[in-house]
Amino acid sequence: MKLIIFVLTIFCLGVTMEAKAQSSEANSQNDRKILVAYFSWSGNAKALAGQIAQATGGDLFEIKTSIVYPNTYNACTEVAKQEQEKNARPILSGSVENMAQYDIIFLCYPNWWGTLPMGVFTFLEAYDFSAKTIYPLVTHGGSRFGRSLDDIKKLSPKAIIGQGIEISAFDRDPSDSPKVKVPNTKVTSWLNTLGLTK
Ligand SMILES: Cc1cc2nc3c(=O)[nH]c(=O)nc-3n(C[C@H](O)[C@H](O)[C@H](O)COP(=O)(O)O)c2cc1C
């Protein structure tokens, strides 16, 4: 009899602990604070960042350089090429308020000359990403991620780099309407796979 009571007690304790663990896991999912940081020249990465912020409830932040890039494609590529050759760190005109509060950062950017625009280099070097997960989203004209994933790892070595996504999107000038239409179904499935929708 004592043995049966003992076994039943152990069983009930196990069920209670499992229920507690599940509820705290659910809470921590909801408690995760999300930042959606984006750099965009002709609006595609911006539109997708907006979609992500809406779907996840994350805060939007534009990575904006003090230098304003030329409005025509060829001129912009020239300036960007020179910045890359100089390994420049363009000054940013704003900063994230209390980065420490965020657990997850979606980083949306266009592929510029095979990697991140240099302003995104400045951004990644400006914060401590320890214990934070960065999910990269690149828009591009054919080169997909290029070297950008390696560069993100180098620039934020303490971050965990989560599964990224590449979206083909190429506009000649900012005056053209963005090629991507939102909500973009590929981005929607990615967010569902990550389990990060509201
Ligand atoms: C300065 C510059 C450099 C670019 N370099 C590349 C490149 O190396 N590979 C590529 O696939 N697309 C390249 N592109 C095309 C952009 O990736 C594409 O226009 C961008 O993803 C659109 O995003 P946005 O509208 O958010 O700016 C370049 C565009 C610019 C303006």
Test site for ligand 1: of 148, 151, 168, 170, most ligand atoms within 8 A of the Cβ: 170
Q: Which atom of ligand 1 is nearest to the CA of 174?
A: 25
Query: Ligand 1 mean position to 167 CA, how many Å?
Result: 11
Task: Measure the CA–CA gap between 189 and 155, rounded to whole angstroms.
Answer: 28
Ligand 1 site, CB within 6 A: 40-46, 73, 76-77, 80, 110-114, 139-143, 169-171, 178
Q: Which domains does the chain have, with CATH numbers?
A: 34-194 (3.40.50.360)
Written as tens digits, the pLDDT of the chain (198 aa) is 565 665 556 564 555 555 444 444 444 456 799 999 999 999 999 999 999 999 999 999 999 999 999 999 999 999 999 999 999 999 999 999 999 999 999 999 999 999 999 999 999 999 999 999 999 999 999 999 999 999 999 999 999 999 999 999 998 899 999 999 999 999 999 999 999 999
| Nearest atom of ligand 1 to the alpha carbon of 138 | 21
Residue 111's CB is within 10 A of a number of other CB atoms, namely 23
Cβ atoms 143, 112 nearer than 8 A? no
Residue 175 CB partners (closer than 8 Å, separation 6+): 71
Q: Furthest-apart CA pair in the chain: how many Å?
A: 86
Exposure on the CB side of residue 106, measured as CA atoms within 13 A: 34
